[in-house]
């Protein structure tokens, strides 16, 4: 397997706590991610171990993931593990850094792919689909928080 890590960032004109409160509520992720629905599976406030079910569009098909919070350090970091119906996992997270009256949001995604898929992802899927989609999602998030 080939381990791939993708990093994205955006500066948001909002304080760190406001940004953290919004992004750590996974049920709101559909407000800034096109075609995504996220439902809480576990009860109570967000914490390590909280579980969600996400349903999103990928190449025209509904893809369902089980999502579990793996790190929760308010107001600076939240990480998760998402697993699809076939048991394919990927790790993701958001780190926030105060920058004066702005907050720098850093988003990372980690995935292990077989070598052929890794090459395809690096050459085609990432540049043509995944990276533009993630950048659009972050711009949507910025617009939500700055409105």
Is there a contact between 66 and 83 (Cβ–Cβ < 8 Å)?
yes
> Which residue ranges form the domains of the chain, and what is each CATH number?
2-146 (3.30.530.20)
pLDDT in tens, 81-137: 999 988 999 999 999 999 999 999 999 999 999 899 889 888 988 888 889 999 999
pLDDT in tens, 38-95: 999 999 999 999 999 999 877 678 889 999 999 999 999 999 999 998 899 999 999 9
Going from the C-alpha of 110 to that of each of 38, 45, 90, 93, the distances in angstroms are 20, 26, 6, 9
Burial of residue 40 (CB within 10 Å: 0-12, 13-18, 19+) is: middle
């Amino acid at each position: 397997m080939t381990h791939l890590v993708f990093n994205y960032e955006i500066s948001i004109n909002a304080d760190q706590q406001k940004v953290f409160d919004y992004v750590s509520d996974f049920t709101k992720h559909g407000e800034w991610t096109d075609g995504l629905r996220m439902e809480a599976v576990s009860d109570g406030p967000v914490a390590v171990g909280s579980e969600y079910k996400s349903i999103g569009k990928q190449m025209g098909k509904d893809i369902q993931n089980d999502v579990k919070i793996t790190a929760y350090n308010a107001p600076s970091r939240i990480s998760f593990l998402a697993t699809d119906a076939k048991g394919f996992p990927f790790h993701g997270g958001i780190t926030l850094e105060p920058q004066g009256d702005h907050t720098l949001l850093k988003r990372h995604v980690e995935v292990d792919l077989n070598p052929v898929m890794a090459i395809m992802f690096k050459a085609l899927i990432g540049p043509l689909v995944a990276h533009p989609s993630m950048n659009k999602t972050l711009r949507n998030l910025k617009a939500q928080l700055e409105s």
